C-alpha cells in the first residue's frame, strides 16, 4: 500500500511539474509579441518598408502608432556581439538603434550595454529562428529601451534596398479583431457549398429517375456518383487520421506527393465544372477522326480536348509558381473551388443517417487533432494546425494546397511575421456540403420548395460566422467543424421534425415518392 501511495504521489508530482512547465511556456508565449521596424533611407531613396521583429514588451513597450515612434539612425554594429564594454564604440550609440549579432551572452547583457552607451533601442540580428528576448523582473525594471530580434535575411534586404545609411522606427500596431479577407473566404465557402449542393442534388435526382441513352456520342452519361456507406465512412476517417499523422512526421517528403495529387485532382475538377459550358457552345463541335487509340477512338470533340489541355495547363502553372504570394493564391483558390464542386458532385450521401455518421465522426476527428493533440506532441503544437500551416522547422518551406487562402488585407505584425494568409480547409466545405446536397435531393423528391436546401445553406453560413468569431476572440486556430456540424445537423433535423418528415428524412425514403416528379 505504501509503495502504491508513493507511486501515485510521484505521478501526481510529475503531472504538476508538466502543468507548471506548460504554464511557464504559455507565459513566455504571451510575453513575446510581433512588432515592426519601419526603415527609410537617409538619402531619400525608395519608399519606406516594414520588417518583422520579435520583441518582449516587458523590456519596454513599443508605440502602437508609427506616427508616435521616433525615427532614429541605425548603426550597423553586427561585427560585434556586444557582450562586454570593449565592444562599445568609442562615442557610444547616442540616439541610435544599433544592430548587433546574436550570441555569446544574454539579452540582458547586450541591452544593458546598449542602454549605457546611449542607444534608444536595440536590434539583435539572428541567423537562427527568432526567439523571445527574455529576462527576469529585476532586469526588466532596469532597462528602459526596447529590444527586439531581427532576422539576418531581413537585415540583408534592408541594406540592399536602402543602403547603409538608414533610419528606423520600432512600433507594434494592434492586431485587428477580424481581417477583411474573411469576407472573401466566407463568400467563396458559402458560394461553393450552395452551388455544389444545388448542382449535386439536381444532377443526382435527374440520374435516378431519367433514363439516359448510353452511347459514345455527345449525350454519353457522366460517371456514376459514389454512395457513402458506414463502412466507407470508417475507412475514410481512418485514412484521414493516418495521412495527417504521416504528414506530421514526414512532412518534407510527403508534401510534394500532396501537391502532385492536388494538381491532378484539381485539373480534373476544373474540367468537370467547365465541360457543361463548353458543350453548349455553338462552335468547336468537330470531332477527332477515326483512330484506334484507347481514349480517342471514341472521337471526342476537339473543344473538349482543348479544354482538358487548358485545365491541365492551369494546374501546372500553379504548381510551378505556387510560392508566388502575390498572385498564386488566386489560382489555388480557383482550382480548390473546382475541386470541391467536383467532389460534391461525385460523392453522395444516400440518407440523413449516413450524413449524421460522417459529420459526427469528422467532428470528433477535427476537435481531437486541433485541441487534444497539443497535449500529446513534444512541441505542444496542434497536429492539424502544424500540418495545415506548414511546420516551422520544415526544410522545404512548402505549404499544403488543400485550403482556400486569401492574403490578409490589414497591415499587422501577425500578417507580416507569421500568418500572411487566412486559411479554410477543403474539409470544412466538403463535409457540410455533402449534407447540403442531400437536403437538396430530398427537397426535390418531397416537393418542399427547396426549404431544406436553403435552411442548411443558411445554417452553414451562420456556423462559419461563429467560427470566425471564435477565431477572433481566441486568436488561435479553430476546428471549423466544431461549429459547422452542430449548426447544419441540428437545423436540418429540427426542420424535418417540424415538418413531420423526420422518418423519411432519416432513411431517405422520400426518394421512393412518385418518380414522375422530374
The catalytic position among 87, 179, 204, 366 is 366
* 428 noted as active-site residue: yes
Output the 3-class SS for 71-110.
CEEEEEECCCCCCCHHHCCCCCCCCEEEEEECCCCCHHHH
Contacts of 447 (CB under 8 A, 6+ apart): 517
Select which of 87, 333, 428, 443 is catalytic.
Answer: 428
Provide CB contacts within 8 A for 138, sequence distance 6+: none
The answer to whether the beta carbons of residues 456 and 488 sit under 8 Å apart is yes
Residues 6+ apart with CB under 8 A from 276: none
- Contact of 259 with 322, CB cutoff 8 Å: yes
Q: Cα separation of 394 and 17, whole Å? A: 30
**403 SS3 class:** strand
- Buried/exposed code over 42-52 (b: 16+ C-beta within 10 A; e: otherwise): eeeeeebebbb
Q: Which of 93, 45, 48 is nearest to 66 (CA)?
A: 48
Q: Strand 122-126 to strand 96-101: parallel, antiparallel, or no bridges (unpaired)?
A: parallel
Report how far residue 351's alpha carbon sits from residue 229's, in angstroms, rounded to the nearest whole number: 9
59 phi, psi to nearest 5 deg: -70, -60
> What's the CA gap between 56 and 22, in Å, rounded?
19
Active site residues: 366, 428
Amino acid at each position: 500500500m505504501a509503495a502504491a501511495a508513493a507511486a501515485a504521489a510521484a505521478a501526481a508530482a510529475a503531472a504538476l511539474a508538466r502543468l507548471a512547465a506548460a504554464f511557464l511556456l504559455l507565459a513566455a508565449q504571451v510575453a513575446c509579441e510581433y512588432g515592426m521596424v519601419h526603415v527609410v533611407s537617409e538619402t531619400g531613396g525608395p519608399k519606406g518598408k516594414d520588417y518583422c521583429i520579435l520583441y518582449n514588451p516587458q523590456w519596454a513597450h513599443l508605440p502602437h502608432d508609427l506616427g508616435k515612434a521616433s525615427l532614429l539612425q541605425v548603426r550597423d554594429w553586427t561585427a560585434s556581439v556586444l557582450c562586454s564594454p570593449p565592444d562599445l564604440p568609442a562615442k557610444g550609440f547616442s540616439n541610435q538603434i544599433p544592430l548587433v549579432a546574436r550570441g555569446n551572452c544574454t539579452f540582458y547583457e547586450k541591452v544593458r550595454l546598449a542602454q549605457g552607451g546611449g542607444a534608444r533601442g536595440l536590434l539583435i540580428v539572428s541567423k537562427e529562428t527568432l526567439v523571445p528576448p527574455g529576462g527576469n523582473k529585476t532586469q526588466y525594471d532596469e532597462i528602459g529601451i526596447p529590444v527586439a530580434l531581427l532576422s539576418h535575411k531581413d537585415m540583408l534586404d534592408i541594406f540592399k534596398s536602402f543602403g547603409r545609411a538608414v533610419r528606423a522606427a520600432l512600433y507594434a500596431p494592434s492586431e485587428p479583431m477580424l481581417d477583411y479577407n474573411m469576407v472573401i473566404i466566407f463568400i467563396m465557402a458559402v458560394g461553393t457549398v450552395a452551388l455544389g449542393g444545388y448542382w449535386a442534388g439536381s444532377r443526382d435526382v435527374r440520374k435516378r429517375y431519367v433514363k439516359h441513352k448510353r452511347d459514345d456520342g455527345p449525350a454519353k452519361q457522366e460517371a456514376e456518383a459514389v454512395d457513402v456507406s458506414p463502412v466507407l465512412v470508417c475507412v475514410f476517417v481512418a485514412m484521414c487520421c493516418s495521412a495527417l499523422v504521416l504528414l506530421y512526421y514526414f512532412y518534407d517528403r510527403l508534401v510534394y506527393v500532396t501537391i502532385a495529387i492536388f494538381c491532378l485532382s484539381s485539373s480534373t475538377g476544373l474540367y468537370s465544372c467547365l465541360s457543361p459550358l463548353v458543350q453548349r457552345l455553338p462552335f468547336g463541335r468537330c470531332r477527332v477522326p477515326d483512330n484506334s487509340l484507347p481514349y480517342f477512338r471514341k472521337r471526342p470533340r476537339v473543344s473538349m480536348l482543348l479544354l482538358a489541355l487548358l485545365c491541365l495547363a492551369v494546374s501546372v502553372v500553379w504548381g510551378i509558381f505556387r510560392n508566388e504570394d502575390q498572385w498564386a493564391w488566386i489560382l489555388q483558390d480557383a482550382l480548390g473551388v473546382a475541386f470541391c464542386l467536383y467532389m460534391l458532385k461525385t460523392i453522395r450521401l444516400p440518407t440523413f443517417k449516413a450524413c449524421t455518421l460522417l459529420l459526427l465522426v469528422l467532428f470528433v476527428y477535427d476537435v481531437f487533432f486541433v485541441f487534444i493533440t497539443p497535449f500529446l506532441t513534444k512541441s505542444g503544437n496542434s497536429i492539424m494546425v502544424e500540418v495545415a500551416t506548414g511546420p516551422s522547422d520544415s526544410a522545404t518551406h512548402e505549404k499544403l494546397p488543400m485550403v482556400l487562402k486569401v492574403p490578409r488585407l490589414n497591415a499587422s505584425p501577425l500578417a507580416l511575421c507569421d500568418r500572411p494568409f487566412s486559411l479554410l480547409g477543403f474539409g470544412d466545405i466538403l463535409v457540410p456540403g455533402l449534407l447540403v446536397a442531400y437536403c437538396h435531393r430530398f427537397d426535390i423528391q418531397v416537393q418542399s420548395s427547396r426549404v431544406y436546401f436553403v435552411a442548411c445553406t443558411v445554417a452553414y453560413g451562420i456556423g462559419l460566422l461563429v467560427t470566425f468569431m471564435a477565431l477572433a476572440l481566441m486568436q488561435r486556430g479553430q476546428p471549423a467543424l466544431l461549429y459547422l456540424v452542430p449548426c447544419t445537423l441540428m437545423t436540418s433535423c429540427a426542420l424535418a421534425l417540424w415538418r413531420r418528415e423526420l422518418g423519411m428524412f432519416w432513411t431517405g425514403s422520400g426518394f421512393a415518392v412518385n418518380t414522375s416528379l422530374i
